[in-house]
C-alpha cells in the first residue's frame, strides 16, 4: 500500500558535521519524487534518514520528524527494523547476496520475518520477480546464484527483493548509475510501473532520467564547502525543468553550475 511521507525540519549530522539543514517536503503516494543536486549536497543522506538507515553510521544523528501516513518513524518505541521493512531501499550498486540462489535472494526478507511455508515463498518469489520485470529471464534458473546475473538483472533482483516484503515506500539511490543504457531504460520503465503501487523517491544525477520518471523534483544545493546541504526548491518536475523559481536551480539543470 502506497503511503505518503511528510518530512518536517530535518537536520542531519555526522558527529559534529551538520550535513543537511532544515529540510521539509512532502512525498505524495503513487508519485515518483526525484532528488537532484550537486555531489555532496546531502541527497543520499536525506534518503537514508527516510528509513532510519542514517543512524547505522556511528555518531550520526537526526533532528526533526519523518511521518509515514502521519506516524513519526522516529517516534518513541518505533523499531528501525520494522521501518526498513515498510520503507525499502535499493542502492547504487546492485547488492544481491552473490552466492545465494536467485529465489532465496528474493525471499530473504520474508524468511527473516519467519515465513517458512514453501508454497507461500514460491508465490511471493514469482510475484516479486514479475513485479521487477525479471521473471521471464530467470524463471528457469531460480536455483542459480544471484551473482550469476548481469548488472541490470542484479539490480532488478534487488528491486524484487525490496518489493517482496510489500513495502509502502521504495527509496532508490542512483539505481541506474552502474547500468548500461538498455538496463537503465528497463529500470525506468519498471519505476513507472511500480508507482501504481508504491511511493517512490529516487536520487539521480541524470537530468533526463529525473525528467522522464519523476512527478515532482527536489533540488538540493550547498552554499559552500563545509556548509550544510539545503533544499532549494521542490515542484512538479515539469515546472522545475521549464520554469524554476530559483536561479541556482536553473543554473544547475542547464549545466551552468559551478
Ligand atoms: N559516513 C559519513 N561520515 C561523515 N560524513 C559523511 C558521511 N557520509 C556522507 N558524509 C558527508 O555528508 C555530506 C552529504 O553527503 P551525501 O553522500 O549525502 O551527498 P550526495 O548528495 O548523496 O552526493 P553524491 O551525489 O556524490 O552521492 C557530504 O559532505 C559528505 O562528505
Ligand atoms: Mg549520494
The answer to whether the beta carbons of residues 133 and 193 sit under 8 Å apart is: yes
Q: Which three cell numbers stand for residue 180?
A: 548500461
Give domain 5-253's CATH number out of 1.10.10.10, 2.160.10.10, 3.40.50.620, 3.40.50.300. 3.40.50.300
Instruction: Give yes or no for residue 119 CB within 6 A of ligand 1.
Output: no
Q: Give 255's pLDDT tier (boundaries 50, 70, 90).
A: confident
pLDDT score of 1 = 81
Separation CA 56–CA 81 (nearest Å): 11
Instruction: Provide the whole-model pTM.
Output: 0.94
Q: Give 258's pLDDT tier (boundaries 50, 70, 90).
A: very low
Separation CA 61–CA 149 (nearest Å): 37
Atom 5 in ligand 1: residue holding the nearest Cα: 14
Q: Give the model confidence (pLDDT) of 193-243 as tens digits.
A: 999 999 999 999 999 999 999 999 999 999 898 999 999 999 999 999 999
Q: Give the model confidence (pLDDT) of 20-43 as tens digits.
A: 999 999 999 999 999 999 999 999
**What are the Cα distances from residue 234, in Å, to 78, 96, 120, 128, 240?**
29, 33, 41, 32, 7
What would you measure as the largest C-alpha separation in the chain, in angstroms? 56
| In the predicted structure, residue 178 carries a pLDDT above the cut 90 | no
The answer to whether the beta carbons of residues 105 and 97 sit under 8 Å apart is: yes
Inter-axis angle of helices 118-131 and 102-112, nearest 10: 120
Q: Give the model confidence (pLDDT) of 101-153 as tens digits.
A: 999 999 999 999 999 999 999 999 999 999 999 999 999 999 999 999 999 99
Nearest Cα to 12, choosing from 46, 57, 51? 46
Q: What percent of the chain has pLDDT over 90?
A: 91
Domain boundaries, the chain: 5-253
> Could you tell which of 13, 37, 38, 44 is best to mutate to test the pocket of ligand 1, judged by most ligand atoms within 8 Å of the CB?
44
Atom 6 in ligand 1: residue holding the nearest Cα: 14
Strand 5-14 and strand 17-27: pairing? antiparallel
Atom 18 in ligand 1: residue holding the nearest Cα: 42
Instruction: Give yes or no for residue 45 CB within 6 A of ligand 1.
Output: yes
pLDDT score of 257 = 60
Instruction: State mean pLDDT over 52-80.
Output: 97
Amino acid at each position: 500500500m502506497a503511503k505518503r511521507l511528510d518530512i518536517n525540519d530535518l537536520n542531519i549530522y555526522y558527529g559534529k558535521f551538520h550535513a543537511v539543514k532544515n529540510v521539509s517536503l512532502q512525498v505524495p503516494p503513487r508519485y515518483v519524487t526525484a532528488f537532484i543536486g550537486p555531489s555532496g549536497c546531502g541527497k543520499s543522506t536525506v534518503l537514508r534518514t527516510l528509513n532510519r538507515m542514517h543512524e547505522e553510521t556511528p555518531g550520526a544523528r537526526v533532528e526533526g520528524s519523518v511521518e509515514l501516513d502521519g506516524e513519526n518513524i522516529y517516534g518513541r518505541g518505533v523499531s528501525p527494523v520494522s521501518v526498513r521493512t515498510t520503507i525499502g531501499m535499493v542502492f547504487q550498486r546492485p547488492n544481491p547476496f552473490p552466492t545465494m540462489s536467485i529465489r532465496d535472494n528474493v525471499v530473504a526478507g520474508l524468511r527473516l520475518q519467519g515465513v517458512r511455508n514453501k508454497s507461500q515463498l514460491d508465490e511471493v518469489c514469482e510475484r516479486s520477480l514479475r513485479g521487477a520485470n525479471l521473471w521471464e529471464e530467470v524463471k528457469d534458473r531460480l536455483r542459480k546464484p544471484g551473482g550469476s546475473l548481469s548488472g541490470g538483472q542484479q539490480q532488478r533482483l534487488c528491486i524484487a527483493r525490496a518489493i517482496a516484503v510489500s513495502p509502502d515506500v521504495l527509496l532508490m539511490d542512483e539505481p541506474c548509475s552502474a547500468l548500461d543504457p538498455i538496463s537503465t531504460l528497463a529500470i525506468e520503465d519498471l519505476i513507472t510501473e511500480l508507482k501504481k503501487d508504491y511511493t517512490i523517491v529516487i536520487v539521480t544525477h541524470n537530468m533526463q532520467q529525473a525528467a522522464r520518471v519523476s512527478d515532482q523534483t527536489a533540488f538540493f544545493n550547498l552554499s559552500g564547502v563545509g556548509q550544510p546541504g539545503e533544499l532549494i526548491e521542490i515542484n512538479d518536475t515539469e515546472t522545475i525543468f521549464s520554469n524554476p523559481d530559483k536561479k541556482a536551480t536553473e543554473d544547475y539543470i542547464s549545466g551552468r553550475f559551478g
